[in-house]
Amino acid sequence: MGHPHKALRTSTTGAVSAALLAGAAFGLAPAAPAAATEASSAPGIRFVDIRGDGGTVLKANVVTPAGADGSSRYPVVVLPTSWATPQVEYLAQAAKLAGSGYVVVTYNVRGFWQSGGNIEVAGPPDIADARKVVDWALANTPADPSRVGMAGMSYAAGISLLAAAHDDRIKAVAALSGWADLTDSIYSGRTQHLQAAGLLVGVGHLTGRPGPELRQFTKDFLGSNLDKEDEMIAWGDKRSPAAHVDRINRNGTAVMLGNAWGDTIFPPNQYAEFYERLTVPKRLEFRPGDHATAEATGLLGLPNDTWTSTRRWLDHHLKGTDNGVDREPPVRITSRSGGPYESYPDWKSVGADARKVALGGTRTIRANIDSGANGGIVMLSNVLDQFVKLPPVASIPLLPRRYAAVWQSERHGAPQRIRGTAKLHTTVTSTKESGTLVAYLYDVGPLGLGKLVSNAPYTFHGRTPGKPFPVDLELFSTAYDVPAGHRLALVVDTVDPLYIEHNPSGAQLTFSSPATDPSYVSVPLREQ
């Protein structure tokens, strides 16, 4: 159940986060004209109304190739808008696509801005809307029904993948900074991602109309109503492309997935796991940054690697262009530390040389106090890492051992190129039946300053106080180069502003390493 002090923190975080993201959204895209129905604003561009599921009006833009007169058919790309953004979000990319021979229809998803309906969070009405938009495009533009694609960022990525599972007309998808598993994205380790959820809910209220189902979910989720946990998980699973991967595979849709290592809304692990389950033509790209920051400059029409990859993917699978994308290694990543792109034949090859760092001895820490180790601030810390190589930092020698368990490796004589998903295995004994721990992996320099490599939360309920139990936790996937002469440090504490914690007052956690089941962190390294 929720704690009273958490409700206040949730509302405060949500309001502040909402203001931040709303400002960013306005900066990236101007508001759509108030009188938009069928008004021509530029050659080849129309603002139209499209009737979605149940007759809900969806505000949309249609961009057609110059000179299109109905005598020829063109591949069509449907672009739903991202969460809380107006219908002009993709106009720069739509113009580029139309300039190379695509019909493009971009529409404001229901519940936001001038579109009708309520926010359904990629629920059945959103999937039905996407199908209605495809119907409209085929009936009202020179679109080729055999060459239909969908693409977009964030919310649009999730809707595009779900639509592809329910509509076999969709031949290709480029899902950027999206989710495959909504539950695992905002509730990984059975822990609510406070800042991420607060951010989404806050801007949803500012720019749209949350429906009753979303309002109830928000109340139960942020209020830590464990009596509704099964219902909340089912709500998320229904909106998760991972639950429909068999249908996508059966439809044969070509799927490109792109995300950032530091995405604090939709962490990369769930995309990588989804990618591995796909049997269709597929591609996976990870870059430095936070949520949607790898694609952001493309919305302004500036050169952008992610949108270039998207164009190549659509060109090959919708236009039949022989651009080599089908012959390239399908997994492409860039280290947060810089350097050229690295290519791999599959995800498991990314960090094939896993090495264990032993976590010996016993550590006991008190809960409810932030030790100073934390994962940063949503939509800020990982942007700093992306552009100025400044991730969240902590002085490892100064972390209070009363509130933080700390283990360090020996200094490494050669660079350690971390690639993929680090995994923690340990034994925990709690003085209470519930609790939360957060694990952090740091790159520690000669002066003891630790730069955050990765982190992840873990929450437990219903444990017998005083009885040890094993914990296996995957940290968020990343690519990071640890310089020669540095150490790796594994730090565990109980409080992080990114997450809702479930530590009763006075709780203590003990971490041990039994001889029969030693504790360790497994670090995935690039093969030399």
Per-residue pLDDT tens digits for 449-468: 999 999 999 999 999 999 99
Q: How confident is the model at residue 71 (pLDDT cuts 50, 70, 90)?
A: confident
Residue 259, pLDDT score: 98
Residue 170, pLDDT score: 98
Backbone angles phi, psi at 195, to 5 degrees: -65, -40
Is residue 155's pLDDT more than 60? yes
Q: Show the DSSP H helices in 337-380 as ranges.
A: none
Q: Give tens-digit pLDDT for 492-503.
A: 999 999 999 999
Q: What is the mean pLDDT of residues 217-222?
A: 95
Is residue 278's pLDDT more than 60? yes
Is residue 40's pLDDT more than 50? no
What is the 8-class DSSP label of residue 318? I
Q: What is the mean pLDDT of residues 163-184?
A: 98
Is residue 1's pLDDT more than 70? no
> Could you tell me the two tokens for 508?
């203590």
Q: Give tens-digit pLDDT for 428-445.
A: 999 999 999 999 999 999
Collapsing DSSP states into helix, strand and coil, what is residue 357? strand
Residue 14, pLDDT score: 37
Residue 69, pLDDT score: 82
Residue 7, pLDDT score: 35
**Of the ranges 70-74, 119-123, 364-368, which one carries the lowest mean pLDDT score?**
70-74
Q: How confident is the model at residue 43 (pLDDT cuts 50, 70, 90)?
A: very low
Is residue 182's pLDDT more than 90? yes
Torsion of CA 495, 497, 501, 504, to 10 degrees: 60
> Could you tell me the two tokens for 174?
């480029």
Question: What residue has token string 């059975």?
Answer: 190
Bridge partners, residue 85, by sequence: none
Collapsing DSSP states into helix, strand and coil, what is residue 11? helix
Q: Which residues in 188-334 belong to E strands, given as ranges? A: 254-260, 282-287, 331-333
Task: Say if CB 32 and CB 86 are below 8 A apart.
Answer: yes
Is residue 13's pLDDT more than 70? no
Sign of the alpha-carbon dihedral angle for 493, 494, 497, 500: positive
- Reported pTM: 0.90
Q: What is the mean pLDDT of residues 75-93?
A: 96
163-197-162 Cα angle (round to 5): 5
Residue 116, pLDDT score: 97
Q: How confident is the model at residue 42 (pLDDT cuts 50, 70, 90)?
A: very low
Longest dimension (CA), the chain: 76
CA 259 to chain centre: 7
Is residue 52's pLDDT more than 60? yes
Residue 527, pLDDT score: 82
Question: What residue has token string 């919310």?
Answer: 155
d(CA 128, CA 452): 42
Convert 38-51 into a string of H (helix), E (strand) and C (coil). CEEEECCEEEEEEE
Bridge partners, residue 395, by sequence: 449
Residue 68, pLDDT score: 86
Residue 70, pLDDT score: 81
